[in-house]
A = this chain, B = another copy of it.
């Protein structure tokens, strides 16, 4: 009776995709407009998936209200309406690509959710681009 439950949340942020040790020319060549120096931004949509046994008493795999509070505390508050490069310490030395952002979100949440739950997340950067982690 293992079920996967999923919760979608949104946040928006500015970022710039550029390697801090590369020249502007190289960054522009590799990352194109994503490297523009004054930042651009996105509405991110996060789908958080937890797989686990259904609790026989409540019929829930996980209390969605509790999950919502964890996401709010560890993800939305530090990321929403922020500049990922400037405001989030983890991205001082790590390029804030969607891949890195998904791994970061996973690492922030994993310690706060019991290990018996398998976690997977989908992070949409635009209507055309999204990532899944772990693969």
Residues of chain A touching chain B, judged by Cβ–Cβ distance below 8 Å, are 1-10, 12-15, 17, 19, 30-34, 36, 38-43, 49, 51-52, 54, 57-61, 64-65, 80-83, 86-87, 94-100, 102-103, 118, 126-135
Q: Copy number in this complex? A: 6
Binding site of A, secondary structure by majority: helix, strand, loop or mixed? mixed
Q: Shortest distance in angstroms between A31's beta carbon and chain B's nearest beta carbon? A: 8
Q: Which B-chain residue is minimally distant from A134 (CB atoms)?
A: B2
Tell me whether A132 and B6 are in contact (CB under 8 A).
yes
Q: How far is the CA of A32 from the CA of B14 in the complex (A)?
A: 16
Q: A131-B3, A131-B4 are in contact. Are A12 and B41 (CB under 8 A)?
A: yes
Tell me whether B38 and A3 are in contact (CB under 8 A).
no
